[in-house]
């Protein structure tokens, strides 16, 4: 059987890296992207972890659609097809709603929503005539429930959920499955600022039924399940991976 391929945006750190390692362990040829040259270069803080597992990391901003489309095309030309696209790259903000300026609003919307949509679009255009494919969008529990200091971020994550359902329906006839995963609070650079505030951190742990933050690796198995042939009848669905947070 041909080796399956996956492209994961924002795979140099955090959740994307956890998912990349899970797919590599499952035998996929993994491609990932990121922007920072420090995490893409070799060396102690670099991408040696990826090289060891045969994971190929490429430098590209998800907002640069021609660059993203070119990476997808390169994978298709080399391996015959891109079996799965995982739109994971995202940025957070803890600016109060009243303080968000145009630049910050644009950055959050462009990265978390517009780029996700355009990557879906590029992938669809590339493979619509060759059997379709599988898209997994990484949203957030903050796309489902509200909290303070996350207004525009929550809006983009809610929009990703709605878009996932809409694309699942629009592209079902072309053989595409489109699903989303909503992580709860996961231990990555994005949640570092919460961990630094001990009282807030302890309160959060109390509120999570499983009493711990998730790890990036906790997202790998749900993503692998959605990408598998066994999930061929699952589309337009939102899987929540949050230690029970939103079940309360
Ligand atoms: N951590 C959580 O608790 C949590 C919860 C729910 C949802 N999420 C979502 O999960 C996803 C990953 O979060 P994380 O916690 O792993 O974040 P993270 O630790 O900050 O890592 C973000 C990754 O995305 C890349 N990235 C950011 N902006 C990019 C851009 N414009 N173009 C290309 N790559 C970009 C980063 O690499 P560079 O900086 O090198 O570009 C990095 O690899 C995000 O969509 C986030 O909203 C996270």
CATH number of the CATH domain containing 53: 3.40.50.720
- Report, as an integer, the average pLDDT of 105-109: 98
Total number of domains in the chain: 1
| Domain around 34 | 5-186+216-247
Q: Answer yes or no: is 196 within a domain.
A: no
CA of 15 to the centre of ligand 1 (A): 7
Among 7, 8, 9, 10, name the best residue to mutate to test ligand 1's pocket (greatest count of ligand atoms within 8 A of Cβ): 10
The pLDDT value given to residue 227: 98
The end-to-end CA distance of the chain, in Å, is 44
pLDDT of residue 47: 85
* Distance, CA of 96 to CA of 85 (rounded, Å): 33
CB atoms within 10 A of CB 169: 11
For residue 209, is it within any domain? no
Radius of gyration, CA atoms only, the chain: 17
Q: Please count the other Cβ atoms lying within 10 Å of the Cβ belonging to residue 12.
A: 23
**In a domain? residue 142:** yes
* 27-52 as b/e: b if 16+ CB within 10 A: ebbbbbbbbeeebbeeeeebbeebee
- Per-residue pLDDT of 140-166, as tens digits, reads 999 999 999 999 999 999 999 999 999
Residue 178 makes CB contacts below 8 A (sequence gap 6+) with 120, 135, 137, 164, 167, 168, 171, 235, 236
| Residue 191 forms part of a structural domain | no
In a domain, 207, yes or no: no
| 192 assigned to some structural domain | no
Residue 198 lies in a domain: no
In a domain, 195, yes or no: no
């Amino acid at each position: 059987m041909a080796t399956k391929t996956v492209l994961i945006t924002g795979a140099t750190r955090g959740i994307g890296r956890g998912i990349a390692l899970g797919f590599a362990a499952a035998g996929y040829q993994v491609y990932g992207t990121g922007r920072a040259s420090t995490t893409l270069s070799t060396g102690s803080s670099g991408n040696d972890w990826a090289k060891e597992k045969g994971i190929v990391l490429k430098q590209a901003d998800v907002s640069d659609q021609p660059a993203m489309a070119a990476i997808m095309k390169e994978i298709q030309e080399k391996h015959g097809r891109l079996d799965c696209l995982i739109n994971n790259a995202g940025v957070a903000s803890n600016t109060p709603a009243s303080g968000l300026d145009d630049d910050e609003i644009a950055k959050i919307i462009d990265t978390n929503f517009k780029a996700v949509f355009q990557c879906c679009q590029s992938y669809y255009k590339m493979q619509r005539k060759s059997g379709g494919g599988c898209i997994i969008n990484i949203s957030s529990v903050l796309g489902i429930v509200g909290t303070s200091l996350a207004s525009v971020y929550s809006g983009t994550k809610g929009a990703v959920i709605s878009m996932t359902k809409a694309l699942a329906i629009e592209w079902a006839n072309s053989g595409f499955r489109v699903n989303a995963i909503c992580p709860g609070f996961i231990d990555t650079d994005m949640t570092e600022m919460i961990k630094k505030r001990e009282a807030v951190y302890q309160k959060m742990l109390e509120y999570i039924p499983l009493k711990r933050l998730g790890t990036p690796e906790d997202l790998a198995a749900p993503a692998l399940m959605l990408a598998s042939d066994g999930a061929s009848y699952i589309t337009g669905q939102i899987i929540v991976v949050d230690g029970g947070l939103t079940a309360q």
